Structure 1
Amino acid sequence: MRFQQLQDWLEWQESCHPREVELGLERVGSVASAMAISLNHCQVITVAGTNGKGSCVATLNALLLSAGYRVGCYTSPHFLHYNERVMLNGLPVDDATLMHSFQRIDDARAATPLTYFEFGTLAALDIFQRSHLDVAVLEVGLGGRLDAVNIIDADIAIATSIAIDHQDWLGLDREQIGREKAGIFRAGKPAISAGFNPPASLRTVAQECGADFYQAGEDFQFENGCWSGTNISGQSIECVNLPEPQLPKESVAAAIQAIHLLPLATANIDFACVNTVQLPGRFQQIKINGKPLILDVAHNPAAANYLAERLQAQRCEGRTFALISVMQDKDLDGIVAALTAEIDAWFVADQPNNDRAMPSNQMTTVLSQHNINKFEVGKDIQQAYQRVLSLMEEGDRLLVFGSFFTVAEVLMLQGDAAKFTNEGNS
């Protein structure tokens, strides 16, 4: 084996391709072909979208596991441990399983260069192929049409809400971005649109490729504790007396619709479990030394607007502090505009070891443009985090947001995330 430690494998993978992102299916598809990777033995649900993908995957996983089905989930990025990306029956795979898969990929690729993400995607598919699954749930990393996940034909494709993000790769407007996301649709297979205001391109692509299109608000909906939609036989069905989910309802509704389009029995699925499904970094509420924190990976204006709604619905007695650090390619102006009214004091943090992070002076310039004068700057997330905790008084709360990197670092600063007093992750 090339390496004996998982971390060594991961560091080596980061150097195997000159670009961090290299969209396209030819290279990764050729390696998958050499490995004879196929998920034909199980049902495949692929989830794309700008926001809400992780919530949809988590809901699918919980519902299927509640009935005893064998489920594999592939997601990215991870928070604390790489193994989180590949889950089997609700548990992350171990280091040895990942390393043996990486070695098989290395043997098969010959001189073909692969990105870090492509290595991880092939490893997940390889592991799922060997795991006798009933359902594999695959989350798209970037876009859809040219994402490595799309080398596998989805039996059911889900597009969650579509917003402006990753314009350099996907296009400058929602219609172009929607067309890229809809690249996971397949002829004769269900294609589910979870957003209530989707770009028209989703339906257009479904019609062009011959997919069976299901639109939220038209073909299925979740209101007042009742989900209604269509089953695999085309019959109208309902799930009643459902509790309010903690995750975004549109992602949950799409997951329930997908479940009913699988050729699997649904009688034993506990649909009421939707209110217990939790996901790190999605309005995740914890306490540190009695001080309430909200952790959210919101990194685009649409996600920030949703975050603002959650903050408005859950007022606090004192002040709301914010610790923010975002990546350079994000629309910070739109993010700040969405949250200005909900935040009393801002703390901006540099990420000196992250080349993708937006410098603090750039972030503070945006804050100033919004007439925000109450802010402090930390040389790194740790310093900013410790500073804001020292200023918090009883009744105050802290919002940590802006990227997966930001939330992950705060989690790592606490050591074992399991030590947190959890008050309902979402």
Structure 2
Amino acid sequence: MNNILNKNNSLSIWLKYLEKLDKKIILDLNELKSIAKKLDLLTFRAFIFTVAGTNGKGTTCAMLEKLLLNSGYQVGLYTSPHLISYLERVRINGSVLTSEEHINSFQEIEIARNSTLLSYFEFITLSALLLFKRYSLDVIILEVGLGGRLDATNIIDSNLSIITNIEIDHSVLLGHTRSSIAREKSGIFRKNKISVIGEINIPSTIDQEAQVKKTILKKNNRDWFLEKYDHYWNFIHEDIKLYGLPNTQIPISNTALALAALYYSDFKISEKVIRTTIPFVRLPGRFQIISVCPHIIIDVAHNLHSALYLFNKIDSMNIKGKIYAIVGMLEDKDINGIVNPFKRKIHYWYAAPLKTSRTATIKQLKKSLPSHNTKILSSIHETYKKVLLLVKKQDAILVFGSFFTVSEFIKAKKLEDNINIFKNAISEK
């Protein structure tokens, strides 16, 4: 163990240490399992949902969490990545824990691992599980970080597995086809346990893996159904039919998937709780409108599927002025694919490298963005300051491309807002 790391160190010092852990390539989960076993983290009394998929994991988890909490259950949630603070990654009954609780957990994991190499995500997953052990929980919701088969969350034998959808993303690690990606995500299937699939057009590898692993597959549009209309929607399940449900702030498809998973898990969720909960569940950074004059819309869309969803939402808005895009992306993303849907909609593009070693370079951004109406600046903060000088009340600012982009923008906006408050206070004296 590194002697400088103890419970007297700050959370930020611990996180900087964890981000520099040596292990990069994960070939199997055996070493991680051995540490988890030593800490008694492989079995829980709580019912466990594991949620995988290319997009919609976070919103599906948020809907599961809120419906269960509003039904009186004690719920732990582990999700990633975070937008502003690491503390967002673990919630107990809807609330984040203290820095001290995380630090104490980190220290216990560090002692237990001894000389065993762990990746950042493996380490913090063990920490989350350790924190859950300290509370009396009815339910634990684990959001898969990447893929499924080799994800750190997969050391836990969940009671019910969820796959939201299968799209091309993280190709270097998961494969370049939907079939190969589906096979990796199917790694969360468990023998004789139910696995609920949200997407209709699933690759055949899902069925193949389900047969091999002897999981009980429950499919959208075969075992349960979603019917969308303009102002309401219906949910049809083997055991229940819900008509005229209110529209939601997150994608209805993810809400329906959460409902299907809950009904297949036999949790008692009343129709009243469903109708009074689902219109109000939202997740920061997912088509979040944080201002209306001008419109400021932030979205973590970072692959083609999520970009198309965002484009359709923007296209349905009645924006009378110009649209300014603030964009930053990671180098391993399909930047062309993400940007292309917006090229006929965005009037001005402002892009910048992100504060991470994984950022797309200025050269990469220039190559993919339109040449005639694009400016590349040094940071997301600089792009926002520039756009602020140009935007009018009827215009819109659209921020997207990565969790990092949205996170940096939120911090930049908060700083600029504080500066303006200070300037206004000085001018009034």
Same fold by TM-score greater than 0.5: yes
Decide whether the 8 Å contact of 2:339 with 2:369 is kept in 1.
Answer: yes
- Look up the match of 1:22: 26
Q: Secondary structure at the match of 2:49?
A: strand
What is the percent sequence identity of the aligned residues?
A: 37
Partner of residue 188, structure 1: 192
Partner of 2:287: 283
The 3 A distance-change label for structure 1 pair 418 and 252 is farther
Counterpart pick for 2:75 among 71, 77, 80? 71
- State whether residues 45 and 154 of structure 1, in contact with CA within 8 Å, keep that contact through their aligned partners in structure 2: yes
- Specify the alignment match of 1:155 in structure 2: 159
Query: In 2 relative to 1, CA 58–265 (structure 1 residues): closer, same or farther, beyond 3 Å?
Result: same
2:390 paired residue number: 391
Q: Tell me if the contact between 1:24 and 1:147 (Cα under 8 Å) persists in the aligned partners.
A: no
Q: Secondary structure at the match of 2:68?
A: helix
Question: Which residue number in structure 1 is paired with residue 366 of structure 2?
Answer: 364
Of residues 251, 274, 299, the one that matches 2:254 is 251
Within 2, Cα distance between the matches of 1:305 and 1:23?
33
1:408 and 2:407 matched: yes
1:399 aligned counterpart, secondary structure: strand
What's 2:427 paired with?
A: none
Query: Structure 1 residue 416: deviation in Å?
Result: 8.8
Question: What SS is found at the alignment partner of 2:237?
Answer: strand
**Contact persistence 2:384–2:412 (CA under 8 A):** no
The Cα of 1:418 is off from its aligned counterpart by: 12
- For the aligned residue pairs, the C-alpha RMSD in angstroms reads 1.9
Matched, 1:88 2:87: no
The amino acid across from 2:75 in the alignment is V
Which amino acid in structure 2 is aligned with residue 149 of structure 1? Answer: T
In structure 2, the residue matched to 1:348 is: 351
Name the SS of the counterpart of 1:240 in structure 2: strand
Seen in structure 2, the aligned counterparts of structure 1 residues 30 and 246 have a Cα distance that, compared at 3 Å, is same
Q: For residue 67 of structure 2, what is the amino acid of its counterpart?
A: L
- Return the offset for 1:9: 1.0
* SS of the residue 1:270 aligns to: helix
Q: Give the aligned partner of residue 145 of structure 1.
A: 149
- Give the SS at the match of 1:77: coil
Match of 2:13 in 1: 8
CA deviation after TM superposition for structure 1 residue 16, in Å: 2.4
* TM-score, L = length of structure 1: 0.92
TM-score, scaled relative to structure 2: 0.91
Secondary structure at the aligned position of 2:245 is classed as coil
Structure 2: gaps spanning 5 or more residues = 419-429
Q: 1:44 Cα deviation (Å)?
A: 0.4
Deviation digits for residues 154-178 of structure 1 (CA, Å, limit 9, x no counterpart): 1111101111010110011000001
- CA distances 1:77-120 after superposition (whole Å, capped 9, x unpaired): 11111010000011111111111111111111111111111111
CA distance in 1, matches of 2:272, 2:207: 30
Q: Contact conserved, 1:162 with 1:198, CA < 8 A, in 2? A: yes
- Name the counterpart of 1:98: 102
Asked if structure 1 preserves the Cα contact closer than 8 Å seen for 2:160 and 2:195, the reply is yes
Distance 1:57 1:269, change over 3 A: farther
Query: What amino acid is aligned across from residue 356 of structure 1 in structure 2?
Result: R
What is the distance in 1 between the residues matched to 2:247 and 2:11? 40
Separation (CA, whole Å) in 2 of partners of 1:392 and 1:333 = 26
**1:39 touches 1:128 (CA, 8 Å); kept in 2?**
no
Q: Equivalent residue for 1:128?
A: 132
Q: Hey, what does 2:422 align to over in structure 1? A: none
Deviations 1:294-345, CA, capped at 9 Å, x for gaps: 1111111111111111111113111111111100000011111122222111
Deviations 1:126-151 (A, max 9, x none): 11122111110000001000000000
How many residue pairs align between the two structures?
408
SS in 2 for 1:275: coil
Structure-1 separation of matches of 2:416 and 2:158: 34
